[in-house]
Structures are given as C-alpha cells and as structure tokens.
A = this chain, B = another copy of it.
C-alpha cells in the first residue's frame, strides 16, 4: 500500500497550494462576473477606479502590481466597452489618465453583491479569511525583491 503517487509530491508544496487556490478563486469570480462579461483583473481595475477616480495607468499598475503590457490592452477593452475613458494628460503628455464613465460608475452598484457572494461561495469565517490574508501578506513581504 501507500505507493508513492504524484499527489504526494505536489501536495506538500506551498507554491502548489497557492497556485491551486488562486485558480479556484479565479473560477468562482469567473462565474460571479460572467453576467457582466468581466474578468477578475478587469474587476480589480474597477475596484481601484471606484475608489480613486482618474488614475494614471502607471499608478494603477502600482496598485495592482501589473505593468503596461498587461494593463494597456485590458484598459483598451474596457474603454471599447464604454466603461472607462483613457485621456492623455494635458500637463504631461506621457501620462494617460483612466476615468470611469457613468456606465462604469453604475457597475459599482450592480456588482455590489459580488464580495458577499464570493464569501458565501468560499464558506469560511471572516476570522479565517483575515488570518489567511495576513499570512499571505507576510509571505508577499518576505518574497518582495527588496530592491537593493
């Protein structure tokens, strides 16, 4: 018995646990956001913009940890959908400022239930979620490049 299976090799790896959890979470959000045709990353961008209107692309990238290679096409798609506008700054022509349209602001109300639905789908207590989040934050801080 207990023939060594590949499961035994993968299961003890922290990285695999994070990788799997992230993909399951992505799956839940995919279902929750499907009615609006939004991806998880697009949802994160909206959250940022609901709080801070008029963000530069670079600032948005800092907040989400994404570069222009990811954000540029993503923002273009959201603009094409009429959710936001991309306007080149008058004072610094290099900067593009991203702002929500009325439709984009309306999404805030329409998507108001998403966090609650996500919590229900996970079925964990707030304490558990907060504890896990704190530990992941600590992990991220350790892993951070620590710019020499």
Binding site for B on A (CB under 8 A): 4-10, 12-25, 27-29, 40, 44, 47-52, 55, 63-65, 115, 118, 121-124, 128-133, 135-140, 142-144
Q: How far is the CA of A142 from the CA of B25 in the complex (A)?
A: 11
Task: Say whether A136 contacts B55, CB under 8 Å.
Answer: no
Kindly report how many copies of this chain are found in the complex they form together.
2
Considering only CB atoms, which chain B residue lies closest to A9 in the complex? B51
Minimum Cβ distance to chain B for residue A5 (Å):
6
List the 9 shortest-distance A-B pairs measured between CB atoms, nearest first: A6-B48, A22-B22, A17-B136, A6-B52, A9-B51, A6-B51, A24-B143, A17-B133, A123-B142
Report which of B5, B22, B23, B138 forms a contact with A52, defined as CB distance below 8 A. Answer: B5
Cross-chain contact of A48 among B9, B63, B136, B140 (Cβ < 8 A): B9
Q: Please tell me if the beta carbons of A124 and B139 are within 8 angstroms of each other in the complex.
A: yes
Which of A27, A48, A124, A136 counts the most B-chain CB atoms under 10 A from its CB?
A: A136
Of the listed residues A18, A50, A130, the one surrounded by the most CB atoms of chain B closer than 10 A to its CB is: A18
A124 → B minimal CB distance (Å): 6
| Docked CA distance A25–B44 (Å) | 20
Which of chain B's residues have a CB closer than 8 A to the CB of A122?
14, 139, 142-143
